[in-house]
Amino acid sequence: MQVDKVAYKPVGLALGMGAGMVAGALFRQVWKRLGHEDEAPAAGDENRRWGEILVAAALQGAVFSTVRAAVERGGATAAKRLTGKWPG
């Protein structure tokens, strides 16, 4: 494994954790604005309908994937600007 890839690992992990926190906050705001409660339904909540649970899960997945991709791409771009090499 190359030294640049090893050196970028902790940065990538920190960015991933930050992305998860941002994505969670963003999803909660989107869910509230759609006119639902503060919390999305859990899959095991027997008082919720299938449709509501599946919509919440799909929306959450889309938000997390989009934020994660944006953060990973931004981190890699910044690393290339600093080092001249793509970290992946």
31-73 pLDDT, tens per residue? 999 876 888 899 999 999 999 999 999 999 999 999 999 999 9
What's the pLDDT at 61? 96
**pLDDT in the model for residue 7:** 77
Cite the beta strand spans of 1-88 per DSSP E: none
Question: For residues 4 and 82, what is the distance between their CA atoms, to the nearest angstrom?
Answer: 11
> Among 30, 41, 39, which residue's Cα sits nearest to residue 63?
30
Q: Is the pLDDT of residue 81 over 70?
A: yes
Q: What's residue 67's pLDDT? A: 95
The pLDDT of residue 1: 55
**Token couple for 14:** 């920190």
Phi, psi of 85 (to 5 degrees): -125, 145
Mean pLDDT, residues 6-16: 85
| Local structure of 39: helix, strand or coil | coil
**How far is the C-alpha of 75 from the C-alpha of 78, rounded, in Å?**
5
